[in-house]
Amino acid sequence: MFKKLKQRWHVNALNLVLILFTFAIGGSLCGMAGRKLMAFTGIDQGFWWVFIYIILVCLLWPFCVLMISIPFGQYSFFIAYLKKIQARMSGKRNKIIRVAIFASGAGSNAQKIIEQMYLSAKKGEEVFRVDLIVSNKPDAGVLSIAAKNNIDTLLIDKERFFRGDGYVAELKKAGIQFIILAGFLWKVPVSLIRAFPNKIVNIHPALLPKYGGKGMYGDKVHAAIIAAGEKESGITIHYVDELYDHGNIIFQATCSVSENDTPETLAQKIHLLEHKHFPEVIEDLLKMQNSR
Ligand code: GAR
């Protein structure tokens, strides 16, 4: 139960304890304040006393928990929490889209997407939630990022991914509605694409349709761009279809390639672009899907 709460609220164990304390102390304070105010009304205990007391407690509760949240350092959590309650009550609450990130490497893009999720949640404007990190490499850095953020992981096996069901059953069971490929180096099997039509996006470290396709990933892309003497490179965010690096393009951004660039320096420029744009593009895309 505590693990689920940590995931849902995007908090670590210490913050979870402080939040639960705030709920408990804020709730008691609110009950006490409610009883004191009721004493002033002179109403005898009975139906009307309970009725008015409940209304009072509902009105006082936000103030009490906010007050208590300050010394516990949880003010921003409770502001966002109250905003969410308000949005839910006024029927304006966004549906939160449950996302899986597929990654094979260090996971810096996954990290940025998770940070975007926290940022929006803090503002009470959560659009998506990363519920699962999927990797094909047991030692991928992205798995440590998942562990640090209390996000469930799924390690996938090549044979089953390509010749089996593409793990569709596991993803559906986890409630996944949208898939982000963030440095995922296997081709996505048709079974998965059909199970998530227009719901899988990829980031590619070049300006597609150039420098895409089988074997074109990471530094290999940058080396090819430098070898070809290109003056410009960039990033492409696109839907995934049944061909490598081919689906409809959602977003591109460019950077210059200088004569002194090496695959490593170009990779740094590309990462900067990716980190700046990928989380925002994902959030905007999911906002649009939400409003349909
Ligand atoms: C990113 O640059 C991404 O564009 C690239 O792998 C890197 C992963 O970095 N993806 C591809 O090459 C896919 N063809 P990260 O693990 O630090 O996010």
Distance 204 CA to ligand 1 centre (A): 7
140 pocket-lining for ligand 1 (C-beta < 6 Å)? no
Cα dihedral 98, 104, 106, 109, rounded to 10, equals -40
Distance 168 CA to ligand 1 centre (A): 23
Q: Can you tell me whether residue 61 is helix, strand or coil?
A: helix
Domain boundary assignment for the chain: 2-90, 97-291
Joined tokens for residue 222: 């940058």
CB 146 within 8 A of CB 182: no
Measured over the CA atoms of residue 172, residue 178, residue 184 and residue 185, the dihedral's sign is: positive
Instruction: State the Cα–Cα distance between residues 211 and 131, nearest whole angstrom.
Output: 32
Q: Is 10 a catalytic residue?
A: no
Q: In what order do the strands lie in the sheet containing 152-155?
A: 152-155, 128-135, 97-102, 178-181, 200-204, 232-239, 249-256
Query: pLDDT tens digits for 89-148?
Result: 887 666 899 999 999 999 999 999 999 999 988 887 889 999 999 999 999 999 999 999
Q: For 260, phi and psi rounded to 5 degrees?
A: -85, -5
Instruction: State the Cα–Cα distance between residues 207 and 224, nearest whole angstrom.
Output: 12
Q: In residues, how long is the chain?
A: 292
Joined tokens for residue 14: 């210490």
CB 65 within 8 A of CB 258: no
Atom of ligand 1 at shortest range from CA of 106: 16
Nearest C-alpha to atom 12 of ligand 1 is from which residue?
217
Distance 188 CA to ligand 1 centre (A): 15
213 pocket-lining for ligand 1 (C-beta < 6 Å)? no
Per-residue tens of pLDDT for the chain, all 292 residues:
777 788 777 788 899 999 999 999 999 999 999 999 999 888 888 899 999 999 999 999 999 999 999 999 999 889 988 988 887 788 766 689 999 999 999 999 999 999 999 998 888 788 999 999 999 999 999 999 999 998 999 999 999 999 888 899 999 999 999 999 999 999 999 999 999 999 999 999 999 999 999 889 989 999 999 999 999 999 999 999 998 899 999 999 999 999 999 999 999 999 999 999 999 999 999 998 877 6
Nearest to 235 by CA among 198, 271, 206, 195: 206
Cα dihedral 115, 196, 105, 9, rounded to 10, equals 30
Any idea which fold 97-291 has?
A: Rossmann fold (3.40.50)
Find out whether the peptide bond into 205 is cis, omega within 30 degrees of 0. no
Nearest C-alpha to atom 14 of ligand 1 is from which residue?
217
Q: Can you tell me whether residue 203 is helix, strand or coil?
A: strand
Q: Are strands 232-239 and 200-204 parallel, antiparallel or unpaired?
A: antiparallel
Distance 282 CA to ligand 1 centre (A): 15
